[in-house]
């Protein structure tokens, strides 16, 4: 039997257990009887002359005929062509199994006993039986049931992940919204009076309102970007860009935050600049997300590094490595799935929607690249972004 296909794809005659024994029309009925009697699984025998199918012998009919001694004596040494069916049912190996069953009932009901011949462009492949069809249909039904159960379990997992995501998202939205409303109420009611000291305080609250609003906007943008990526509607705004400038902007953005967290932030790469043809905004979003995660999940005293290098195949590798808490092996396959957040005590103490890595993968794949994550609990995480050599531009000489 050929490799088993998905139950959602049509199962075809090529999957049947076919029997390749055949005889020429000049063979005797006794020879046909001997073959059929020796192998109870043979549904019949194809009769082939000079490569052309000219008929078939029905197992049941021949054995019944030979069960009568007088008739057996008459036919045993005579050509099998005398007893063969000159119009056997011949089907193409690509015939759908359900269509084959219907065709037997409509065109050749006797094939229920005699079997049928499978041939491609007139070339004999083998003989099949209704029993073979029934066995294949049972296997097909069993696999369809397994695939439906797997799909049901996946739907349950996806629903649970969405529920968890919505629970996390409600926290991510409510916290800054409560801050915005609370600080706005304080300013509006002039809770601390209207003097200069009070207004200095109100300015601080206005800053908190601004940062909370920006955070909310980032969350909503992430959701919208992920929705567009899933719908295949994200477009790249490509232009010439500098890798050195990209990495330097990330270093400036996170340098103070790394110092506050008591982390070492290391940047390394080739001396000469590398220029890409890419969407700088999206690549910057990817890099900022990766470095942000590395800092977020690395305890004080740890290290975060960003390294760029050209591979031997010309591709650009951008690697973000940390000495943080790491990710369990069982969670590595889930980490890039939307609505999934790896559950750890440290992760739960930090804000986050769990959309950054799915978005990063979508943006990198739009550039024709890949993103790979390797991690061990307690040993840190390494994320490698590979951009194809075709994205790297030749250096312009002045």
Residues 114 and 55 in one domain: yes
Q: Is residue 215 in a domain?
A: yes
- Total count of residues recorded for the chain: 398
pLDDT given at position 353: 60
Residues 110 and 173 in one domain: no
Spatial CB neighbours of 3, under 8 Å, sequence gap ≥ 6: none
Q: Is residue 358 in a domain?
A: yes
pLDDT given at position 110: 86
Residues 30 and 48 in one domain: yes
> Residue 359, class by beta-carbon neighbours within 10 Å (0-12 exposed, 13-18 middle, 19+ buried)?
buried
Residues 41 and 104 in one domain: yes
pLDDT given at position 264: 95
Q: Is residue 151 in a domain?
A: no
Provide the CATH number for the domain around residue 373: 3.30.565.10
- For the chain, the domain total comes to 3
Q: Which domain holds residue 95?
A: 13-128
What Cα–Cα distance (Å) separates residue 178 from each residue in 64, 89, 210? Answer: 89, 76, 13
Residues 217 and 339 in one domain: no
Q: Is residue 152 in a domain?
A: no
Query: Of the residues 181, 208, 230, which one is the last residue of a structural domain?
Result: 230
Q: Is residue 188 in a domain?
A: yes
pLDDT given at position 6: 54
Residues 108 and 221 in one domain: no
| Calpha distance 90→76 (Å, rounded) | 27
How is residue 149 written in tokens?
């159960």
Q: Is residue 98 in a domain?
A: yes
Residues 283 and 302 in one domain: yes
State which H helix or E strand residue 47 sits in.
Answer: strand 44-49
Query: Of the residues 128, 147, 171, which one is the last residue of a structural domain?
Result: 128
pLDDT given at position 396: 54
Q: Is residue 175 in a domain?
A: yes
Residues 366 and 258 in one domain: yes
pTM above the 0.75 mark? Answer: no
pLDDT given at position 111: 85
Cβ atoms of residues 322 and 294 within 8 Å: yes
Residues 222 and 260 in one domain: no
3-state secondary structure of 22: strand
Residues 75 and 218 in one domain: no
Residues 91 and 225 in one domain: no
Query: Of the residues 200, 230, 260, which one is the last residue of a structural domain?
Result: 230
Residues 200 and 226 in one domain: yes
Half-sphere exposure of 360 (CA within 13 A, CB side): 26
Q: Is residue 397 in a domain?
A: no
Provide the CATH number for the domain around residue 55: 3.10.580.10
Buried b / exposed e over 277-297, threshold 16 CB at 10 Å, is ebbbebbbbbbbbbbbbbbbb
pLDDT given at position 339: 58
Residue ranges of the chain with pLDDT lower than 50? 344-349, 397-398
């Amino acid at each position: 039997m050929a490799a088993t296909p998905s139950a959602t794809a049509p199962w075809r005659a090529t999957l049947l257990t076919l029997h390749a024994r055949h005889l020429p029309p000049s063979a005797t009925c006794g020879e046909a009887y001997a073959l059929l009697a020796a192998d109870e699984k043979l549904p019949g025998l194809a009769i082939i002359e000079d490569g052309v199918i000219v008929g078939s012998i029905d197992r049941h009919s021949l054995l019944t005929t030979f069960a009568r001694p007088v008739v057996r004596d008459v036919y045993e040494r005579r050509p099998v062509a005398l007893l063969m069916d000159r119009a056997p049912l011949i089907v193409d190996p690509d015939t759908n199994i359900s269509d084959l069953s219907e065709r037997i009932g409509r065109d050749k009901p006797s094939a229920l006993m005699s079997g049928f011949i499978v041939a491609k462009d007139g070339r004999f492949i083998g003989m099949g039986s209704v029993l073979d069809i029934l066995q294949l249909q049972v296997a097909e039904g069993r696999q369809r049931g397994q695939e439906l159960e797997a799909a049901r379990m996946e739907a349950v997992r996806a629903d649970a992940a969405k529920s968890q995501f919505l629970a996390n998202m409600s926290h991510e939205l409510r916290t800054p919204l409560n801050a915005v409303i609370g600080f706005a109420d304080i300013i509006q009611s002039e809770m601390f009076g209207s003097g200069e000291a009070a207004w200095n305080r109100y300015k601080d609250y206005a800053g908190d309102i601004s940062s909370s609003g920006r955070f909310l906007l980032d969350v909503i943008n992430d959701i919208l970007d992920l929705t567009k990526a899933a719908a295949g509607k994200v477009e790249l705004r490509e232009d010439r860009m500098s890798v050195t400038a990209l990495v330097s902007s990330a270093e400036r953005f996170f340098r103070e935050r790394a110092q506050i967290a008591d982390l070492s932030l290391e940047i390394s790469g080739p001396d000469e600049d590398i220029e890409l043809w890419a969407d700088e905004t999206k690549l910057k979003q990817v890099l900022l997300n990766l470095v942000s995660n590395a800092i977020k999940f690395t305890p004080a005293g740890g290290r975060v590094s960003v390294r760029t290098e050209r591979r031997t195949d010309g591709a650009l590798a951008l690697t973000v490595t940390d000495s943080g808490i790491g990710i369990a092996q069982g969670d590595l396959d889930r980490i890039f799935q939307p609505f999934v957040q790896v559950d750890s005590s440290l992760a739960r103490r930090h804000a986050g929607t769990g959309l950054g890595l799915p978005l990063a993968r979508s943006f990198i794949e739009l550039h024709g690249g890949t993103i790979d994550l390797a991690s061990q609990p307690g040993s840190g995480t390494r994320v490698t972004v590979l951009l194809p050599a075709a994205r790297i531009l030749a250096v312009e000489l002045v």
